[in-house]
Amino acid sequence: MRSNQCPKCQSSMTEGFILTERSSMPTLLSWSRGTPRKGWWGVKSGEGKPIEISTWRCQRCGFLENYARS
């Protein structure tokens, strides 16, 4: 279990998410097991089902911390 305290400055952190663009559509970042492989249409996904990433941001210093909960 994570703490809501920033590991850099000990201020409080807020949960959020990071969007990326895929085919002109906003998409949540995800984590995949393995190494990326280039394919005809970009990068092929890794092994298994991708896991969405949640991100925590420090309100004071802006530090970001990512988690991939299964």
Q: How confident is the model at residue 68 (pLDDT cuts 50, 70, 90)?
A: very high
Q: How confident is the model at residue 2 (pLDDT cuts 50, 70, 90)?
A: low
Does residue 38 belong to any structural domain of this protein? no
Does residue 31 belong to any structural domain of this protein? no
Listed in order, strand segments (DSSP E) in the chain are: 13-16, 19-22, 25-28, 30-33, 37-39, 42-44, 47-58, 64-68
Does residue 43 belong to any structural domain of this protein? no
Domains identified in the chain, total number: 1
User: CATH number, domain at 11?
Assistant: 2.20.25
pLDDT in tens, 8-52: 999 999 999 999 887 788 888 888 888 888 888 777 777 788 899
Does residue 15 belong to any structural domain of this protein? yes
